[in-house]
Amino acid sequence: MDLSSFPFLTPSPTEKLLHFSSGILWMKRDDLIHPDVSGNKWRKLKGFFREVDPSRPVLTFGGAHSNHLRAAAFALAHASIKGIAVVRGEELSPEHNTTLRYCEKMGLTMHFIPRSEYKVLREKDWKPSAIQLEEWGAASAQILPEGGAGAHALEGCREIWSELDDVPDHLLIASGTGTTVFGILAAMPQGSSTKVHVISAVKGAHQEQARITQYARQKSIDLHWEDEVHFGGFGKIPTHLKAQNTAFEKEYGFAIDSVYNAKVWAYFNRNSFKGRVLWINTGGVFTP
């Protein structure tokens, strides 16, 4: 479908954040792409929407706090496509939190299933049985995997690199599944002079780490993988991180999300750099 009617700010702007003794920290403001589809979410969805058949429903998947579900709900509503979501946790309901309330407001039909059933769906690569599809009213649906993952997502994430006007000495980016950084690495030239710092929000993401570091090695790109071990685990927000976030917002006039980008900020502050440092702000801050 034609994407020109989608209200998204791309290319996203790159702003100077601060001067430090041996360089400058810049931020690529993917968080400004859209208030509800911020950061890497539209990057990941774009390719899917380009090829979607608007006459058929879309079936997607996510947890109760999923930024992907929120983004998909907005984009589907904007395109007037019927959206169906399978949500992890049978005990939940649309009233559970602001994310699910938002999805309901956007017209997403949600089915809440047990975690064990959700795990099987993940193992089956988001291919439900005919009975499940029938039960969810999704027999003719197009499947959008959890997190918007897939080849389309990688394509969209490549654009982050291709939108840059200047090549940074260091690139800082948060990682969950590693899709965003993989897309960036795919777009970088072989033997790029940019050192990539991946700050994993997930503790012990060994598979992702192995996949990403091996790919960087293949491309002769210097990559450092920062394991989340210093911060206590995915979604954990220790007091010192909260305090850092508050100070950041006070200083720069906008908030960074606590799960991903706060850790990039903490990483920047703990390490020394030289030259042009670029932080890709992957978004994740929403107003309820």
Ligand X SMILES: Cc1ncc(COP(=O)(O)O)c(C=O)c1O
Comparison of 48 and 260: residue with beta carbon closer to ligand X: 260
Candidate residues 6, 12, 39, 138; the one interacting with ligand X per rule CB under 6 A: 39
CB 225 within 8 A of CB 283: no
Comparison of 70 and 82: residue with beta carbon closer to ligand X: 70
Minimum CB separation from ligand X for residue 174, in Å? 5
Please tell me the count of residues contacting ligand X according to CB under 6 A. Answer: 16
Comparison of 57 and 86: residue with beta carbon closer to ligand X: 86
Determine the interface stretch with ligand X among 14-22, 48-56, 96-104, 169-177 (rule: CB under 6 A). 169-177
How many Cβ atoms are within 10 Å of 151's Cβ, its own excluded?
Answer: 9
Distance CA 151, CA 174 (A): 20
- Say whether residue 83 binds ligand X (CB under 6 A): no
- Say whether residue 209 binds ligand X (CB under 6 A): no
The residue with tokens 């997607």 is 60
- Say whether residue 147 binds ligand X (CB under 6 A): yes
- Say whether residue 174 binds ligand X (CB under 6 A): yes
Q: How far apart are the first and last CA of the chain?
A: 29
Minimum CB separation from ligand X for residue 224, in Å? 16
The residue with tokens 């010192």 is 240
- Say whether residue 180 binds ligand X (CB under 6 A): yes
Could you tell me how many helices (H) and strands (E) the chain has, helices first? 10, 10
- Say whether residue 99 binds ligand X (CB under 6 A): no
Comparison of 159 and 257: residue with beta carbon closer to ligand X: 257
Q: Which residue is nearest to ligand X (CB)?
A: 284
Minimum CB separation from ligand X for residue 175, in Å? 4
Minimum CB separation from ligand X for residue 131, in Å? 30
- Say whether residue 176 binds ligand X (CB under 6 A): yes
Burial of 1-16, coded b for 16+ CB within 10 Å and e otherwise, reads eeeeebebebebebee
| Cβ neighbours of residue 102 closer than 8 Å, sequence gap 6 or more | 36, 70, 73, 286, 288
Comparison of 168 and 176: residue with beta carbon closer to ligand X: 176
Distance CA 39, CA 284 (A): 7
Beta strands in the chain (DSSP E): 14-20, 23-29, 58-62, 83-88, 109-113, 142-144, 170-175, 195-200, 223-226, 275-281
- Say whether residue 175 binds ligand X (CB under 6 A): yes
Distance CA 25, CA 276 (A): 6
Span 246-285, contacts to ligand X by CB under 6 A: 257, 260, 282-284
- Say whether residue 67 binds ligand X (CB under 6 A): yes
- Say whether residue 84 binds ligand X (CB under 6 A): no
CB pairs under 8 A, 24+ apart, for 53-56? Answer: 53/142, 54/1, 54/79, 54/80, 54/81, 56/81, 56/140, 56/141, 56/142
Minimum CB separation from ligand X for residue 64, in Å? 14
Determine the interface stretch with ligand X among 46-54, 55-63, 178-186, 243-251 (rule: CB under 6 A). 178-186
Binding residues for ligand X, rule: CB under 6 A, are 39-40, 67, 147, 174-180, 257, 260, 282-284
